[in-house]
Structure 1
């Protein structure tokens, strides 16, 4: 049996991979016109962007093109990565980092930095960091339990399960 060691590096040495960005874009799907993805949520446009490149919030009247949507997402991710590089002190491999950036894209970098995911990474407990993707923050949206399909936010729970699974595979 061949063992494959997944090298962990200081977060400062990592950046979101093309595969990681593709995963975010595919999960978020593209919308030309601003929409509210989950009742009670903020308006999003493009690939789930809640903010424009200049930092102003998306309004329901906003529209975009695929090219601009990519720029908006990359601007959002760039800001998230700067914040993550300040708060994550534990080393990660590329797959773990891509998953964390995906989580931050959904949760916001401040929320990600305060999360049990980051706390577990910083103490070197990588299995616990994977398990933390399934915690209540990842299960709830606008006060609803997204594990319950009747609450119209099931995608939030399914995405948390996907993050957990990919994280465990990255160990």
Structure 2
């Protein structure tokens, strides 16, 4: 049974389950590659190194440990923005992890302008969960259509939505 207790966001942090799910969906790549949106990526979905420099296709291989360190550095920066955006909002740990994962995947700009955030600020938790399903596009391709070669983006959204709904 999941804990559905909602507490102030300032008291929460990314859980071990968050990082397990992150690596499950992002995967690990020692070498740089282009993701489904054509963005150069390395490690566990990292677009930038911890110092802020963009990953380049010519960058050297990295270890899984380095990739995990990069992901943790990225998440710690995202969490500062994430918590500030949710000042006064209460979430369960599951919800916190779900929305932080969304931010990691879709970026801070998409989070800040999202209907999820607007709904959370007005305590519309179910509507916030449902808003996850609006984000199914990558590079103008509808990822809910399997042949568009980005179906993993959609299945990740479906899993986020299911987790979120179970936390209500």
Match of 1:166 in 2: 163
Alignment correspondent of 1:17:
15
Q: Does residue 76 of structure 1 match 2:56?
A: no
Q: What SS does structure 2 have at the residue aligned with 1:134?
A: helix
Structure 1 unmatched ranges of 5 or more: none
Partners in 2 of 1:21 and 1:159 — Cα distance?
A: 14
- Alignment of structure 1 residues 117-136 onto 2, 5 Å: 117-135=116-134
Of stretches 56-65 and 3-12 in structure 1, the one that deviates more from structure 2 is: 3-12
Change (3 A) 1:152 1:91: same
Aligned to 1:146: 143
What is the aligned length?
A: 166
Provide, for residues 116-167 of structure 1, a one-character-per-residue CA deviation record: whole Å limited to 9, x for no partner.
11111111000001000000xx210001111111111111111111110110
Q: Name 1:53's counterpart in structure 2.
A: 50
Query: What corresponds to 1:93 in structure 2?
Result: 92
Residues 83 and 110 of structure 1 are in contact (CA less than 8 Å); yes or no, is this contact kept in structure 2?
no
Tell me the residue number matched to 1:44.
41
**Relative contact order, CA 8 A, sep 6+: which one is greater?**
2
Residue aligned with 1:133, SS: helix
The residue that corresponds to 1:116 in the other structure is 115
Root mean square deviation, CA, Å: 1.4
Cα distance, 1:57 vs structure 2: 1.1
Unaligned runs of 5+ in 2: none
Moved over 4 A (4+): none
TM-score (norm 2): 0.94
